[in-house]
Amino acid sequence: MTELATALEQPQFATERDPRLRLIIPIIVAIAFLMEQLDSTIITTAIPAIARSLDTTPVRLNLAITTYILTLAIFIPVSGWFADRFGARKVFALA
């Protein structure tokens, strides 16, 4: 019975062992979301410059940008499956 009581008293989560992680983990996740949104914004605002360098119109690049954003939308659930299968920490570190 004492082993069970000792096991129940030990902290189960990393944030219980180190209170600093309560701030660090949300900040890291927020930065990742910011980078994802920033990436899409940069691509969208760079369309005219990309079109000029490729000697085409921005409207013709619309399909490429739509494909890029659609691919991002498809891989969001896939990344959730990867996180469940291989562990969220490993998948996040590889991303």
Taking the chain (95 residues) in runs of 10, the rounded mean pLDDT of each run is 58 68 82 84 87 90 84 85 87 78
Q: How far apart are CA 34 and CA 26, in angstroms?
A: 12
Q: What pLDDT does 55 receive?
A: 92
Both tokens of residue 54?
């490729």
- Residue that the structure tokens 């910011």 belong to: 34
